[in-house]
Chains A and B, each alone.
Chain A
């Protein structure tokens, strides 16, 4: 029974993940794309929970749905989301090549996984209650991965300073319509 419920949750989350991913890519209005990204991130968080990565799932919802998507929505509202229609005027050579390339990536890697998918990929390790908990993540971050943790904070600082500079110190807009 529990097995069936897990499968049910997995199938629903997987379908929501793929559908919302396609929606992000194919909506012509960027505002709707950003809203569809919230569904994408939420279904990913469900899959993380099934993989017993509780802290990552919580961070996913907080950082992405809470911060990144809100920032996207503010910028799209500020710029007045201009619609662009990927299929306007029939498929161009570039569009056909894009679909072929993306399909090729998917088929190639799925074939490789199918060739390798024996018991090595189906037998998951036995993990205890603590796996994926904030305590375990914190221990790892402050012991084995302390350098990554500190470098990450510097990356965030540089990005914040860069964002402020990009947003404020640009020269006054020259008259529209040149070029």
Chain B
């Protein structure tokens, strides 16, 4: 295999995952939280595809494609929820969406 080994791809995937986790924890806009979630899912995909290359087995790529579909479904529902919430409230701030707090 030309270029860097699988470990380099795994390190890249971890740093990308941490970036996405930082976004989910740090930001208060639900739109950016959804974008950061997509980054975390993609970091997982990168690790899956790196291991698929390591093992010479296509199953990891199948898993990555399935994750991609689930991410698309999650984006649809997340954006639908955000639009529905924004019709009820003017501000979009996840720290202030406390209507369901017991």
By a CB distance below 8 angstroms, the chain A residues around B61 are 53, 55-56, 132, 137, 140
A4 to B31 alpha-carbon distance, docked (Å)? 40
How many interface residues does chain A have, given as a range?
A: 35 or more
By a CB distance below 8 angstroms, the chain A residues around B71 are 64, 68
How many interface residues does chain B have, given as a range?
A: 35 or more
A40 to B37 alpha-carbon distance, docked (Å)? 13
Q: Binary interface profile of B, 22-61, with partner A (CB < 8 Å = 1, else 0)?
A: 1101111101101110110010011001101111111101
A71 to B86 alpha-carbon distance, docked (Å)? 16
Asked if A63 and B79 make an inter-chain contact with CB atoms under 8 angstroms apart, the answer reads no
By a CB distance below 8 angstroms, the chain B residues around A50 are 3
- A interface, over-half SS: helix
Asked if A25 and B19 make an inter-chain contact with CB atoms under 8 angstroms apart, the answer reads yes
Asked if A18 and B58 make an inter-chain contact with CB atoms under 8 angstroms apart, the answer reads no
Which of B4, B23, B53, B91 touches A7 (beta carbons < 8 Å)?
A: B4
- B residues with a Cβ closer than 8 A to A are 1-12, 14-23, 25-29, 31-32, 34-36, 38-39, 42, 45-46, 49-50, 52-59, 61-62, 64-66, 68-77, 79-84, 86-93
- Per CB-CB distance, the 8 closest pairs between chain A and chain B, nearest first, are A125-B56, A166-B80, A98-B25, A159-B73, A6-B3, A25-B23, A102-B22, A106-B18
- A residues with a Cβ closer than 8 A to B are 2-3, 6-7, 9-10, 14, 17-18, 21-22, 24-25, 27, 30, 33-34, 37, 40-41, 44, 47-48, 50-53, 55-56, 59-60, 63-64, 67-68, 71-72, 75-76, 78-79, 81-82, 84, 86, 94-95, 97-99, 101-103, 105-106, 109-110, 113-114, 117, 121-127, 131-132, 136-137, 140-141, 144-145, 148, 152, 155-156, 158-160, 162-163, 166-167, 170, 173-174, 176, 179
